[in-house]
Structure 1
Amino acid sequence: MLINSLQNHNFLLSKLIQLKDLPYATLHFSQIHNPNDFTYNTMIRGLTKTWSNYTSAIQLYHQMRSSRFRPNNYTYPFVLIACANLNSLNIGRTTHSSVLKTGLGSDGHVAHCLITMYSRCGQLGCARRVFDGILDRDLVSWNSMISGYSKAGYAEEAVGMFGRMREEGFGPSETTLVSVLGACGDLGGLELGRWVEGFAGENGFALNSFLGSALISMYGKCGDLESAKRVFEGMTTMDSVTWNALITGYAQNGVWDKAINTFQQMRSEGTIEPDNITMVGVLSACASIGALELGSWIDKHTSQKGVRHDVYVGTALIDMYSKCGDLDRALQIFNDMPWRNTVSWNVMISALASHGRPQEALSLFGRMREEKDKRVSPDDITFIGVLSACVHVGWVEEGRGWFESMRGEFGLVPKIEHYTCMVDLLARTGRLDEACEFIESMPKKPDGVTLGTVLCACRKFNNVKVGERIANMLLEVEPSNSGNYVISSKLFANSKRWEDSAKMKGLMRERGVVKTPGCSWIEGDDQVHEFRSGDGSHYRAGEIYLMMDLLCEEMRIEGYIPNPSLV
C-alpha cells in the first residue's frame, strides 16, 4: 500500500524508470495531481535517457513550461539531447533562448548539451559560439566541441581543436581519443592516428571495444589493414562494433575476400550476433565479387531477424543482387521497401541502366521525381544513373537535356563523372569530333576514364585521327596504365600503321609498364577463392589447370576460334 504523498510518488516514479516500465511510469505520472519540478525532470530524463522517446520528452517539457514550474539546469540538458536526436533545430533554438532568459547560459552541463544539439543539427558555427562563450572550460567542454566537429565531418577542425586543447594543458580522455581517431580516418591522417595509439598505450588506456574499434576503423580508412588486424587481434573483449570495423575496413579497401572470411569467422565463433552494419559491410563485399550464395543467405537471415526492411540493409541487398545479375530480385526488394532514401533510388536506377534496361531506369527516375517524401530528391549520383541510361540506349538529345537540367532545374553542379557520361554518349554514337569539342569545353582537365572512353570508341569506329590525339593526351594523364598503350597499339595496327603500333609497344617497355594481371573470385564451400592470371599458388592449382586444358580442347573440337583482336 502506497502512502499518498508527493515524496512517495517521486520515489515510485524513479523506480519505474529504473525498471524501464514506460506504460506504468506514464500512467503513474498522469495520476500525480500536483507534480513539481523534480517530478517533471525525472520523467523528462526517463523519456530521453531510458526510453529514447524524444518526442514525448519535448511534449512534456512544453507542458511543464505551461504550468507554474520553470525548467531549470536539470531540465534543459535532456530537452536539448532530445532536440539533437530529433534533429529539431527550431525547438533547440527556442530552448536556447529560454536558457539565456533564465540565466543558465553559463551552466557547464547545459552549455555542453547546447554544443551537442547544434553540432548534430549541422550548425557548427552556433556550436562554436557556445563553446567560445564558456569562460571556465573543462575537459567535457573540449570533448563536446571536438566530437561535434568530428561527427559532422569537419575533420580538420576537430584535429585543430585537439591541438588547442593540448596547448592549453588538458590531457585527453578516452572520449577525446575516439573523436580524434574518427577525424584521422576521414583525413587519412595515419601519422596522428599512430601517435594516438602510442599515447593510449603509454598512458594506460584499456584497449576496449570503444577505443579499439576506433583504432581499427581509423587504420582501415587510412589503408593500413595490417595495423587494423593487429589491433583487432590484441583486443581481449570484442563486440559487433569491433568486428564491423574490421569487416568494413577490408570492404572499403577492396579486400573483399578477407571481409567475407572475417564475417565467416565471426559466425563460426557464435558469441556475437551480426547486426545491420555487419550485413551492409558483407553485402558490399558480396556485390563486388559476385558472392551470390552468401548474399542470398544474408537476405534470408535478415528477413528472419526482421531487419531486411531497414533502409540500409535493403539498399545493400539491392546493390548485391544487381551486381550478381539477379535484377528481378533486386526490383522485388526495392518495391517491398516500406521507405526508400535517395541512395535506394540511385542504386536501383543505376542497376537498371547498367543491365541494359534504360527505359525502365528513366521511368523509375520519373517515379522518384514524383516522390512526396521531401527527404528524397535527385542528387549528383542520380544523374550518373540517368545519363548512363541514355548512353546505353543512345539517346543523345535526351541525355544532353538532362545534363543541362542539372544546373537549371535541380541546382546541381555537374562533376567529372557527368562529363564522362556525356563524352561516352557522344563517342558511342560515333560523334567523336563532337566528343572532343565537349572535352575541350570541360571546366576541368579530363581524367583517364573520360579520355579512355573516347579512345575505345575510336578503335570501334577505326578513327585513327581522333584516336592518335586522344592517345597522346592519355599517355600524359596516365603514363603507367598498360591498357592505354595496348588499345593505341591495336588502333594503329588495324589501320596498317605498323611502325606506330610497334612504337607504342616499345614505349610501354621503355617506361617499364606491365599489364595488370586479371583477377577473379569464386565462391564455394563457404569460402572465397581468389585467382590471378598466371598465378599457380592455389592449393589445387594442378587440378584447375588440368581442367582448363580439357575445356580448351573441347572448345577446339567444337570449332571455337579465338579472336585475339578483341583482347
Structure 2
Amino acid sequence: MYGKCGDLASAKRIFDGMKKKDVIIWNAMISGYAQNGLSDETISLFNTMKEEEVHPNKITLVVVLSACASIGALDIGKWIDEYASRRGLRHDIYVGTSLIDMYAKCGSVSCAYKIFESMTKKNRVSWNAMISALAFHGRAFEALSLFDRMLAEGDVNLPDDITFVGVLSACVHAGLVDEGYQMFSLMRCYGLAPKIEHYSCMVDLLCRAGRVEEAWVLIEKMPEKPDEVLLGAVLGACHKVKNEKIGERVMNLILHMEPSNSGNYIISSKIYARMKRWDESARMLKLMKEKGVTKTPGCSWIEIDSHVFEFLAGTLLHSQFAKEIYEVLQLQYEEMKTVADTSAVDFCVQGA
C-alpha cells in the first residue's frame, strides 16, 4: 500500500522490520521502487535479494528488467536472462517480452531479436516490442518487414496504437515519407484513430525532410491541441530550413505553453536573428533571464560491477573518484590534440 501511494520511506521501514521475507514481500518492495521510477534502488534491492539467496520469480524478473532497460544496466539484464534460462522462464511470454525490451534499450538489438525468434508464443506486446526495438536502432526496413510478418500471422495479433507508433518511428529514422503517409492512412483500416503520438511521428518525419509546410497543415488537422514536444520539433525544423513564417507562429504557441524550457528561447532568438530582427532576438534572451530559466544539466549513467553510477554535468557527485576521472579526461584531451586532422591542409595545398 505504502509503495503504491509513493510513501517508500514507510514501506522500506516496514520491509526492514520483517524478520522473514518471502519472494512476494521482496517483489512488493522492489515493485514499489520501480513504480516510482527509482531504477537504481530497484536494482540495488534486487542485488540484496540475491545475496539473501531468495529465488526471484517471473514477476521479479519482469519488474527488474524494466528497471535495467530504463538506465541501460546490461550486466544485470544478462544475469536475469541466464537465470531465466536455467529456470525455464525465458520462454514465458512476459519474461521474454521484457528481455526483448531490456536488450533493445541497452543497445543489443541482435540479442533482442534472438529472444524474439526463440519465443514459442508471441502476443501483440511481443511483436510491438521487437518492431519498436528495430525502429529505435534505425533498422527501419527490418521493422517494416516484421510488421508485414505480423499482419501475415492472421487475426490473432492485430496491430494496435503502439504497433503504429513503432512503424511510424521506423519511417522517421529512415526518412521514408511516402511509407509514413501509407502507414498513417493504414491505421483507419484497423479502426484506429491517430493519436498525438502518431501525429508527432508524422510531423517529425516531415520536419526532418524539410517539409515544414506539410507538417504545419497536419498539426492544424489534429483532433487535439499539439503539445510542447511536437511544437518543439517543428520549431527546430523551422530554424534548420529557415522558414521564419511558420517559425514565428510556433514560437508564440510554445513559449506560452512551456515558458520554463530554455531551448525554446534560444531557438526563438536564433530564428529572429536570422530574420534580422535583432531587438526581438535580444528580447528572447532577456526574457529567458528575467524568468530565471536555466539550461537543464545533462545526465548519464554507467554500470560497473553491477553497480550503476549517475553523473550530472557541472557536479562532482562522485568526488571520491574525481581525481581519477579528471586524469582520464586529461589523457583523452592530450590524445585528441596529437591526432590532427590534416585533410583541410592537404586541400589547401592542392588548391594553391
- Using structure 2 for the length normalisation, give the TM-score: 0.90
- Within the candidate set 278, 289, 296, 1:509 is matched to 289
Could you give the per-residue CA deviations for residues 400-424 of structure 1, whole angstroms, max 9, x where no partner exists? Answer: 22222222x1111221101111111
Structure 1 gaps of 5+ residues are: 1-214, 561-567
The structural deviation recorded for 1:373 is 6.2
Partner Cα distance (2:338, 2:259) in 1: 42
2:144 pairs with 1:362? yes
Q: Percent identity?
A: 59
2:4 pairs with 1:218? yes
Counterparts in 2 of 1:476 and 1:268: CA distance versus 1, 3 Å: same
Could you give the per-residue CA deviations for residues 13-62 of structure 1, whole angstroms, max 9, x where no partner exists? Answer: xxxxxxxxxxxxxxxxxxxxxxxxxxxxxxxxxxxxxxxxxxxxxxxxxx
Could you give the per-residue CA deviations for residues 513-549 of structure 1, whole angstroms, max 9, x where no partner exists? Answer: 2222111111112211111111112131232133223
Could you give the per-residue CA deviations for residues 239-265 of structure 1, whole angstroms, max 9, x where no partner exists? Answer: 222222232232333321111111111
2:33 pairs with 1:250? yes
Counterparts in 2 of 1:291 and 1:479: CA distance versus 1, 3 Å: same
- Within the candidate set 46, 51, 54, 1:263 is matched to 46
SS in 1 for 2:284: helix
Partner Cα distance (2:126, 2:270) in 1: 41
Counterparts in 2 of 1:430 and 1:379: CA distance versus 1, 3 Å: same
The structural deviation recorded for 1:489 is 3.1
The structural deviation recorded for 1:234 is 3.6
Matching residue's letter, 2:339: E
- Within the candidate set 204, 208, 224, 1:428 is matched to 208
SS in 2 for 1:218: coil
The structural deviation recorded for 1:492 is 4.1
Map of 2:173 onto structure 1: 392
- Within the candidate set 310, 323, 327, 2:92 is matched to 310
Partner Cα distance (1:324, 1:438) in 2: 34
Counterparts in 2 of 1:470 and 1:347: CA distance versus 1, 3 Å: same
The structural deviation recorded for 1:217 is 4.0
- Within the candidate set 224, 227, 237, 1:447 is matched to 227
Partner Cα distance (1:275, 1:496) in 2: 63
| 8 A Cα contact 1:216 1:231, kept in partner | no
Could you give the per-residue CA deviations for residues 215-244 of structure 1, whole angstroms, max 9, x where no partner exists? Answer: 14423xxx4433433343343432222222
Q: Compare relative contact order (CA 8 Å, sep 6+) and give the higher one, 1 or 2.
A: 2
Partner Cα distance (2:43, 2:306) in 1: 9
Matching residue's letter, 1:326: S
SS in 2 for 1:529: strand
Map of 2:349 onto structure 1: none
Counterparts in 2 of 1:301 and 1:490: CA distance versus 1, 3 Å: farther
Partner Cα distance (2:184, 2:33) in 1: 35
Partner Cα distance (1:501, 1:225) in 2: 46
SS in 2 for 1:540: helix
Partner Cα distance (1:340, 1:348) in 2: 11
| 8 A Cα contact 1:452 1:474, kept in partner | yes
SS in 1 for 2:260: coil
Counterparts in 2 of 1:491 and 1:250: CA distance versus 1, 3 Å: farther
- Within the candidate set 510, 519, 536, 2:299 is matched to 519
Map of 1:296 onto structure 2: 78
Partner Cα distance (1:228, 1:496) in 2: 58
| 8 A Cα contact 2:187 2:193, kept in partner | yes
SS in 2 for 1:306: coil
2:179 pairs with 1:404? no
| 8 A Cα contact 1:311 1:344, kept in partner | yes
Map of 2:131 onto structure 1: 349
| 8 A Cα contact 2:100 2:113, kept in partner | yes
- Within the candidate set 23, 27, 34, 1:240 is matched to 23
SS in 1 for 2:91: coil
Matching residue's letter, 1:340: K
Could you give the per-residue CA deviations for residues 432-456 of structure 1, whole angstroms, max 9, x where no partner exists? Answer: 0111111111111100111111122
Map of 2:345 onto structure 1: none
Map of 2:158 onto structure 1: 377
SS in 2 for 1:368: helix
- The CA RMSD measured in Å over matched residues stands at 2.0
Map of 1:118 onto structure 2: none
Partner Cα distance (1:497, 1:551) in 2: 42
2:111 pairs with 1:325? no
2:318 pairs with 1:532? no
| 8 A Cα contact 1:216 1:245, kept in partner | no
Larger Rg computed on CA atoms: 1
- Within the candidate set 471, 474, 483, 2:263 is matched to 483
The structural deviation recorded for 1:465 is 2.7
The structural deviation recorded for 1:468 is 2.4
The structural deviation recorded for 1:496 is 5.6
Partner Cα distance (1:389, 1:307) in 2: 30
Mapping of residues 145-156 of structure 1, within 5 Å = none
Matching residue's letter, 1:303: S
Mapping of residues 58-207 of structure 1, within 5 Å = none
| 8 A Cα contact 2:4 2:35, kept in partner | no
The structural deviation recorded for 1:494 is 5.5
Partner Cα distance (1:430, 1:335) in 2: 37
The structural deviation recorded for 1:493 is 4.7
Structure 2 gaps of 5+ residues are: 342-352
